[in-house]
Copies of this chain bind each other. A is one copy, B any other.
């Protein structure tokens, strides 16, 4: 499991053997079952989570009482509530496994120690966050600039395998439309021109 993480880190920075060893010592691993939670509202988020296998979702309950999915985390993605993790304030999110998952845990205290021992990890997270930030901005722009159907087609083109893995109602929540609408456009044989 650790090898996945080291390989991922090495895509962004080059760890030497001693540094990789420090990373390995800093993490813990956990196997969780589908539907288990790693975080719930009113709890402080204590760690960052790397999905080695499986799939997680970060969501909250909106004022209409509905689950609203903010983020999915599949293999090689970090997922957490950075705001709660950084500030120590209670989270408003649920972080839940939507498949049986293998998760690497990096707790807050250890993250801070690791940044001192292996400064490259600070760069790694800076680069990860930079990517996540620009991706979220793009996603935001797509909401404004694409029709619902285009946004769905775009998402499928970007993450073809992923769409098959998650329940339809979760994808609808993430993309911001009703399961009925998603079902309708999934049923279409002909791609609507843009």
A-B contact pairs, 19 of them (CB 8 A): A62-B145, A68-B144, A71-B137, A82-B133, A82-B134, A83-B134, A119-B119, A119-B122, A122-B126, A126-B126, A126-B129, A129-B129, A129-B133, A132-B133, A133-B136, A136-B137, A136-B140, A139-B140, A143-B143
A60, B137: Cα distance in complex, Å: 12
Q: Is A192 an interface residue, CB under 8 A from the partner?
A: no
- With both beta carbons as reference points, the residue of chain B lying nearest to A115 in the complex is identified as B123
Q: Is A63 an interface residue, CB under 8 A from the partner?
A: yes
Q: Is A176 an interface residue, CB under 8 A from the partner?
A: yes
- A interface secondary structure, majority: helix
Q: Is A14 an interface residue, CB under 8 A from the partner?
A: no
CB distance from A133 to the nearest CB of B (A): 4
Whether the pair A68, B141 counts as a contact (CB closer than 8 A) is: yes
A132 CB contacts on chain B under 8 angstroms: 133
Q: Is A162 an interface residue, CB under 8 A from the partner?
A: no
Q: Which residues of chain A from 55 to 109 have a CB within 8 Å of any chain B CB?
A: 60, 62-63, 68, 70-71, 82-83, 86
Whether the pair A62, B144 counts as a contact (CB closer than 8 A) is: yes
A115 CB contacts on chain B under 8 angstroms: 123
A183 CB contacts on chain B under 8 angstroms: none
Q: Which residues of chain A from 126 to 178 have a CB within 8 Å of any chain B CB?
A: 126-127, 129-130, 132-134, 136-137, 139-141, 143-145, 176
